[in-house]
C-alpha cells in the first residue's frame, strides 16, 4: 500500500527534526531508551512517550535551563532582600609631640593612649549598594591609659529609608518581579518543549501503527490476488479463459506484492522516525499497539479558538515577556528620577569616670537628581518601550496565527470525517459489487476479467479507507496540538 503524502511528510519531518537535541542513541551519554525496548517487543503509546521524555537530550537541556533560572531567581531575591552585616573594630590611638594641658576627662584621654573597641550590626532591605531601608546599630567602648583609667561607652542607632526613587518606598521590588517572570517563562518553556516532544512522538506512533495496519491489509490483498490468479489459471488451463485474463491476474498479484513491499518499507521508515524520537537504536525491530482513536473535539470552532488562546504556552510566554518589558521600562525610568531619602539617628553616651549620661539625635532629608545621566536614561527607557511594543506585536501576530490554524485544522478534520465516511461507503459498495459479479460469473453473465477488476477495486477501496482514517487521526492530533492540549 502506498501512503498518503501527509503521512510521508510527517515521517520525514519527524526524522529530519532531530538535528536539534534529538540524536541517535549511539551519540548520547545520558539515559536512553535502548534498554527499555527489547527486539521484537510491542510497546504502547504511553510507554513510547515515557521513554522519549527519559532519553531526550532537549528535555534534559530544558531541565538544566530551568534549574539555572531558579538559581538566578534566588540570587536576585537574595540581592534585593534582607541582609545582615555584623562588624567588629579595634583602634589604638597614641599622641605624639607636646601634650596640651588637660582640663577635663575627655581632653585628658585625648593626650594619652586610647583603645577603642567597637561592634555593630547593619540590616538592609534591597540592593546592598543602594538599599531602600537600612538600620545600623553601633556600640563603642573607649579606654584611655590615664590615672585613673578613663572609660566611655557610646551606642548609636541610625535608620535610613528611601521615600521616592520613581516609586514610593523604592523601586527595588521591580527587580524581584522581573526575576519571577523570567523563572515562570522558563517553566513554560520547559513544559512547551515537553509538549512538543510528546506531539512528535504521538505523530510518529500513529504513523507507525497505520503502517502496520497497511502491511496487514496488503497481506490480505495478496491472499486474495493469489486466489484470483489460481482461479484464473485453472480456467485458462481448462480452456475456459483467455491469456489476457491470466496476464491480468498475474499483474494484479505482482502489484499486490509490490504494495506489500512498499508497506513493509513504510513500517521500517516509520519505526526509524519513532526510534529517533525515543532514543532507540534505529535497527531495533519492535511494533506498537494500535492506539486509541483520537477523539474529535465537540465544541464549536469559536470555543476551540478561545481555548487555544487560553492554553497555548508560547502565547503565555509572550504575555509574560511583555509584562517583564513593562516592568523593565518602569525600572529604567526610575533610574532617572529624583531620589528622596530620609534618615534619623540617636546617640547615647555614658562617661564612667564622671558618671554622666548624654545623648543626641538627628534627622534629615536628602534629595538627589541624576542630571548627568538623564540622556542615557531616556535612551534606555525608549529602548525598553520599543521592546514592550515588540512583544505586543508578536502577541497579536501569534493570536491571529492561532485562530487561523485552529480554524483550518477544524475545517480539515470536518472534511476528513466526510472522506472517511465516503471511503467506508465506497468499500461497502465495492464489496457488494464483487459479491454480485461472482454470482454473475457463476451464472455465466460476467467474465473472469470482471471478477479480477472488482477484486482489485475492493483492495483499492480498503486502502483508500485506511489512508483516510490515518489522515483523520493525524489531523485531529494537529488540531489538539494547535489548541495547546
Asked if 416 and 465 sit in the same domain, the reply is yes
Residue 78: inside a domain, yes or no? no
Asked if 286 and 211 sit in the same domain, the reply is yes
Residue 333: inside a domain, yes or no? no
Asked if 165 and 297 sit in the same domain, the reply is no
pLDDT of 479 reads 95
DSSP for 253-292 reads HHHHHHHHHHHHHHHHHHHHHHHHHHT--TT---EEPPPP
Choosing from 373, 397, 431, the residue where a domain stops is: 373
Task: Please give the DSSP secondary-structure letter assigned to residue 168.
Answer: B
Residue 2 has pLDDT above 50, yes or no: no
Residue 272: inside a domain, yes or no? yes
CA angle, corner 311, sides to 305 and 312, nearest 5? Answer: 85
Least confident of 136-140, 158-162, 471-475: 158-162
Asked if 356 and 393 sit in the same domain, the reply is no
pLDDT, tens digit, 9 for 90 and up, residues 170-218:
777 778 888 899 999 999 988 999 999 999 999 999 999 999 999 999 9
Q: How far is CA 194 from the centre of its chain?
A: 6
With cell 513554560, the residue in question is 188
Asked if 169 and 296 sit in the same domain, the reply is no
pTM: 0.73
pLDDT, tens digit, 9 for 90 and up, residues 225-278:
999 999 999 999 999 989 999 999 999 999 999 999 999 999 999 999 999 999
User: What is the spatial distance between Cα 350 and Cα 346, in angstroms, rounded to a whole number?
Assistant: 14
- Higher-pLDDT residue of 411 and 21 is 411
Taking alpha carbons only, the member of 15, 385, 19, 335 closest to residue 174 is 335
Domain holding 113, by residue range, is: 84-174+339-373
Residue 77: inside a domain, yes or no? no
Asked if 179 and 114 sit in the same domain, the reply is no
- Higher-pLDDT residue of 416 and 147 is 416
Residue 211: inside a domain, yes or no? yes
pLDDT, tens digit, 9 for 90 and up, residues 315-351:
999 999 999 998 888 888 777 778 888 999 999 999 9
Asked if 179 and 157 sit in the same domain, the reply is no
What b/e readout covers 37-57, taking b as 16+ CB neighbours within 10 angstroms? beeeeebebebbbbbbbbbbb
Asked if 95 and 156 sit in the same domain, the reply is yes
Q: Where are the alpha helices (DSSP H) in 128-242?
A: 172-237
Residue 40 has pLDDT above 80, yes or no: yes
Residue 401: inside a domain, yes or no? yes
Residue 19 has pLDDT above 60, yes or no: no
Asked if 392 and 476 sit in the same domain, the reply is yes
Residue 199: inside a domain, yes or no? yes
Residue 256: inside a domain, yes or no? yes
Taking alpha carbons only, the member of 330, 83, 65, 14 closest to residue 182 is 65
For residue 109, what is its C-alpha cell?
Answer: 584621654
Asked if 145 and 273 sit in the same domain, the reply is no
User: What is the spatial distance between Cα 297 and Cα 401, in angstroms, rounded to a whole number?
Assistant: 20
Asked if 308 and 384 sit in the same domain, the reply is yes
Asked if 303 and 207 sit in the same domain, the reply is yes
User: What CATH number does residue 28 fall under?
Assistant: 1.20.1600.10
- The average pLDDT across 296-317 equals 93
Structural domain count of the chain: 2
Amino acid at each position: 500500500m502506498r501512503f498518503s503524502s501527509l503521512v510521508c511528510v510527517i515521517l520525514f519531518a519527524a526524522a529530519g527534526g532531530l538535528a536539534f537535541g534529538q540524536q541517535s542513541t549511539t551519540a548520547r551519554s545520558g539515559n536512553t531508551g535502548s534498554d527499555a525496548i527489547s527486539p521484537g517487543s510491542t510497546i504502547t503509546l504511553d510507554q513510547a512517550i515515557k521513554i522519549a521524555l527519559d532519553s531526550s537530550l532537549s528535555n534534559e537541556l530544558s531541565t538544566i535551563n530551568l534549574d539555572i533560572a531558579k538559581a538566578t531567581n534566588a540570587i536576585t531575591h537574595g540581592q534585593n532582600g534582607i541582609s545582615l552585616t555584623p562588624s567588629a573594630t579595634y583602634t589604638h590611638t597614641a599622641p605624639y609631640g607636646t601634650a596640651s594641658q588637660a582640663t577635663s576627662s575627655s581632653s585628658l584621654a585625648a593626650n594619652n593612649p586610647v583603645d577603642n573597641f567597637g561592634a555593630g550590626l547593619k540590616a538592609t532591605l534591597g540592593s546592598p549598594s543602594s538599599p531602600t531601608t537600612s538600620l545600623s546599630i553601633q556600640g563603642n567602648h573607649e579606654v584611655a591609659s590615664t590615672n585613673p583609667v578613663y572609660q566611655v561607652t557610646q551606642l548609636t542607632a541610625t535608620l535610613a529609608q528611601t521615600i521616592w526613587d520613581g516609586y514610593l518606598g523604592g523601586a527595588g521590588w521591580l527587580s524581584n518581579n522581573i526575576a519571577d517572570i523570567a523563572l515562570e517563562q522558563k517553566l513554560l518553556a520547559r513544559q512547551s518543549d515537553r509538549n512538543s516532544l510528546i506531539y512528535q512522538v504521538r505523530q510518529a506512533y500513529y504513523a507507525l501503527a497505520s503502517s502496520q495496519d497497511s502491511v496487514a491489509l496488503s497481506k490480505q490483498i495478496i491472499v486474495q490476488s493469489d486466489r484470483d490468479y489460481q482461479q484464473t489459471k485453472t480456467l485458462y488451463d481448462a480452456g475456459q479463459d483467455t491469456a489476457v485474463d491470466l496476464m491480468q491476474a498475474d499483474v494484479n498479484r505482482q502489484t499486490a506484492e509490490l504494495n506489500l513491499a512498499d508497506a513493509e518499507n513504510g513500517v521500517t521508515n516509520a519505526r526509524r522516525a519513532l526510534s529517533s524520537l525515543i532514543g532507540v537504536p534505529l535497527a531495533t525491530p519492535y511494533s506498537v499497539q494500535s492506539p486509541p482513536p483520537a477523539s474529535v473535539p465537540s465544541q464549536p470552532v469559536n470555543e476551540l479558538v478561545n481555548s487555544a488562546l487560553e492554553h497555548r504556552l508560547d502565547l503565555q510566554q509572550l504575555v509574560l515577556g511583555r509584562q517583564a518589558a513593562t516592568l523593565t521600562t518602569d525600572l529604567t525610568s526610575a533610574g532617572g528620577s529624583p531620589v528622596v531619602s530620609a534618615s534619623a539617628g540617636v546617640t547615647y553616651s555614658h562617661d564612667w569616670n564622671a558618671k554622666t549620661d548624654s545623648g543626641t539625635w538627628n534627622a534629615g532629608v536628602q534629595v538627589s537628581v541624576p542630571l548627568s545621566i538623564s540622556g542615557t536614561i531616556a535612551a534606555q527607557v525608549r529602548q525598553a518601550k520599543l521592546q514592550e511594543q515588540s512583544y505586543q506585536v508578536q502577541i497579536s501576530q501569534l493570536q491571529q496565527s492561532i485562530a487561523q490554524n485552529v480554524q483550518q485544522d477544524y475545517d480539515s478534520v470536518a472534511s476528513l470525517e466526510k472522506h472517511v465516511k465516503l471511503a467506508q461507503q465506497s468499500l461497502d459498495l465495492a464489496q457488494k459489487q464483487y459479491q454480485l459479479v461472482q454470482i454473475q460469473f457463476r451464472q455465466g453473465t460476467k467474465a473472469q476479467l470482471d471478477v479480477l477488476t472488482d477484486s482489485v477495486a475492493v483492495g483499492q477501496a480498503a486502502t483508500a479507507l485506511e489512508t483516510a482514517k490515518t489522515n483523520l487521526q493525524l489531523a485531529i492530533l494537529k488540531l489538539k496540538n494547535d489548541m495547546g492540549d
